[in-house]
C-alpha cells in the first residue's frame, strides 16, 4: 500500500535500526516509487530517506492553489470560516452561571414549587443553550426550608439547620432537572456532598466537561458547609468553572436606590460598582458573595425572573436589570 505524498513531510526521516524496524515492515513506504531519494543501506541495516521540493516537483502537492485555500478555510459544519462567523451572533458572554432563589421557584407561593415557573426557566435556558451558550445553575432552598430562620427552634442549632436547607436545594435541583429534561435539555445535578443515588458529586473538571458538551449543570447543596449562603455558593462555583458572569434572578427588576415597595419614586440603578454595593449596604447579595465576585472580577446582573424572556436576555448579555462590576455594551438597548 503506497502512502500519498501529502502525508509524508518533506524533511529527512530519522534512521531506524533494522532490529526495531525490520526491512519487510518498510514495504508500505515504497520510497523509490514516489520520487524519494533513498540512500544505500548502511552496514547495520538502517535506511535513510531524504525528501526535497525539487525532487518531488512543483505539482506534487495536492493542496496547492485554490483547492488548498478552500480546504483550509472550511468550518467543521461544511461552511467556510467567513460564513460561519457571519452566521454565529456575537454574544456578550459564552459561559454563564444563573442563580435562582428558592422563593422565585415558589411562584405565587400557593405551593413550595410552581411547575409553571420551572417550565418557564427551562424553556428560556433551552433557547440560549441551542445558541451555543453554556449555562450552569445554582438553586436556593428558601421555598422549602431556610436554615437561618429555623436556627434555635426546638433546640435546632445553626449548623444542623443549614444542612437541612442544603437538602432543600437538592430537592429543587432534581425538580428543575426533571423539567428541563422533559423538553429535551440534557441536564446534570451535582451536589456539594455525596448523594450518589440521586446526583453526581461536585467535581469541577467534570462540571466543565458537561458544559463543553452542551449540557446544563445544576449545582445543589450550596458549598457543603454551614454558615454560607447559596449566593456565596453561586459566586464560588462561578469562579471555579470560569463563568464570565453571575446572573442573579430575583422578584424585582434590579437594584434600586430605595425600597420600591415603600417609595414609589425609587430609581432603578442600571450600573453599580462593587464598592457602591458594599458602602451603601445594598441588599443585593451577602458581603461574602459580593467580595468573592469583586476579587475574581466577576460581574453580577440582578434582574426580574418573572418577566418573560428576561432570563434569555440576561444570558445573551442584553441590557436588563442592574449590572454590578461591569459595563453594558453600547449596541444593546435597555429593557
Task: List pLDDT tens digits, range 84-130.
Answer: 444 456 788 999 999 999 988 998 877 899 999 999 999 999 999 99
Which positions ≥6 away from 292 have C-beta within 8 Å?
A: 232, 235, 236, 239, 298
pLDDT band at 178 (very low <50, low <70, confident <90, very high): very high
* Domain-located, residue 70: no
Q: How many independent structural domains does the chain possess? A: 1
* Domain-located, residue 89: no
Query: In degrees rounded to 5, what are phi and psi of residue 301?
Result: -115, 125
Pairwise CA distance, residues 48 & 46, whole Å: 7
Say if residues 1 and 33 touch (Cβ distance below 8 Å). Answer: no
User: How confident is the model over 292-320, as a mean pLDDT?
Assistant: 92
* Domain-located, residue 1: no
The three cell numbers of residue 145 are 426550608
Which of 158, 175, 163 shows the shortest CA–CA distance to 100? 175
User: How confident is the model over 21-38, as a mean pLDDT?
Assistant: 45
First to last CA, the chain: 65
Between 88 and 241, where is the model more confident?
Answer: 241
Percent of the chain with pLDDT over 90: 53
- Quickly tell me which residue has 427551562 as its cell: 122
Pairwise CA distance, residues 282 & 173, whole Å: 28
**What CATH number did the domain enclosing 224 receive?**
3.40.1160.10
The three cell numbers of residue 28 are 508500505
Among 101-115, 124-138, 224-238, the minimum mean pLDDT is found in 101-115
DSSP label at 250?
E
Pairwise CA distance, residues 95 & 135, whole Å: 6
Pairwise CA distance, residues 305 & 250, whole Å: 6
Residues facing 334 on adjacent strands: 319
pLDDT band at 70 (very low <50, low <70, confident <90, very high): very low
Pairwise CA distance, residues 285 & 81, whole Å: 42
Between 13 and 331, where is the model more confident?
Answer: 331
* Domain-located, residue 189: yes
* Domain-located, residue 135: yes
The pLDDT mean for the chain works out to 79
User: Which residues of 6-124 form beta strands (DSSP E)?
Assistant: 37-38, 49-50, 95-100
* Domain-located, residue 86: no
* Domain-located, residue 251: yes
**Enclosing domain of residue 228:** 95-324
Percent of the chain with pLDDT over 70: 71
Between 308 and 81, where is the model more confident?
Answer: 308
Among 54-68, 93-107, 149-163, 257-271, the minimum mean pLDDT is found in 54-68
- Quickly tell me which residue has 502525508 as its cell: 7
* Other CB atoms within 10 A of residue 240 CB: 17
User: How confident is the model over 187-198, as a mean pLDDT?
Assistant: 96
* Domain-located, residue 128: yes
pTM for this one? 0.72
Q: Rounded to a whole number, what is the largest CA-CA distance in the chain?
A: 97
pLDDT band at 150 (very low <50, low <70, confident <90, very high): confident
Which of 275, 326, 327 shows the shortest CA–CA distance to 297? 326
pLDDT recorded at residue 38: 46
Which of 321, 326, 180 shows the shortest CA–CA distance to 249? 321
Residues facing 200 on adjacent strands: 190
Q: Is the pLDDT of residue 162 over 90?
A: yes
The three cell numbers of residue 12 are 529527512
pLDDT recorded at residue 310: 92
pLDDT recorded at residue 4: 54
pLDDT recorded at residue 74: 42
Pairwise CA distance, residues 29 & 34, whole Å: 9
Amino acid at each position: 500500500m503506497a502512502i500519498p505524498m501529502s502525508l509524508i513531510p518533506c524533511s529527512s526521516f530519522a534512521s531506524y535500526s533494522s532490529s526495531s524496524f525490520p526491512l519487510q515492515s518498510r514495504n508500505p513506504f515504497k520510497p523509490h516509487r514516489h520520487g524519494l531519494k533513498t540512500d544505500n543501506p548502511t552496514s547495520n541495516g538502517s535506511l535513510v530517506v531524504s525528501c526535497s521540493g525539487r525532487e518531488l516537483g512543483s505539482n506534487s502537492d495536492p493542496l496547492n492553489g485554490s483547492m488548498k485555500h478552500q480546504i483550509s478555510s472550511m468550518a467543521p459544519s461544511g461552511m467556510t470560516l467567513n460564513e460561519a462567523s457571519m452566521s454565529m451572533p456575537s454574544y456578550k458572554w459564552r459561559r454563564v452561571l444563573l442563580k435562582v432563589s428558592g422563593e422565585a421557584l415558589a411562584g405565587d407561593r400557593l405551593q413550595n414549587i410552581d411547575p409553571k415557573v420551572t417550565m418557564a426557566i427551562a424553556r428560556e435556558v433551552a433557547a440560549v443553550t441551542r445558541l451555543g451558550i453554556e449555562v450552569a445553575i445554582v438553586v436556593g432552598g428558601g421555598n422549602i426550608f431556610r436554615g437561618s430562620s429555623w436556627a434555635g427552634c426546638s433546640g435546632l442549632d445553626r449548623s444542623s439547620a443549614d444542612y437541612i436547607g442544603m437538602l432543600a436545594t437538592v430537592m429543587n435541583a432534581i425538580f428543575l432537572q426533571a423539567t428541563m429534561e422533559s423538553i429535551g435539555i440534557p441536564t446534570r445535578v451535582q451536589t456539594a456532598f455525596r448523594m450518589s443515588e440521586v446526583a453526581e458529586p461536585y467535581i469541577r473538571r467534570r462540571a466543565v466537561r458537561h458544559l463543553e458538551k452542551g449540557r446544563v449543570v445544576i449545582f445543589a447543596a450550596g458549598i457543603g458547609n454551614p454558615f454560607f449562603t447559596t449566593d456565596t455558593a453561586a459566586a464560588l462555583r462561578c469562579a471555579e468553572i470560569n463563568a464570565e458572569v453571575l446572573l442573579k434572578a430575583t422578584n424585582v427588576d434590579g437594584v434600586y436606590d430605595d425600597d420600591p415597595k415603600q417609595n414609589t419614586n425609587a430609581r432603578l440603578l442600571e450600573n453599580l460598582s462593587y464598592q457602591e454595593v458594599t458602602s451603601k449596604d445594598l441588599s443585593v447579595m451577602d458581603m461574602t458573595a459580593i467580595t468573592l465576585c469583586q476579587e475574581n472580577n466577576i460581574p453580577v446582573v440582578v434582574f426580574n425572573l418573572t418577566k418573560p424572556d428576561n432570563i434569555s436576555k440576561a444570558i445573551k448579555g442584553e441590557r436588563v436589570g442592574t449590572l454590578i462590576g461591569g459595563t453594558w455594551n453600547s449596541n444593546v438597548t435597555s429593557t
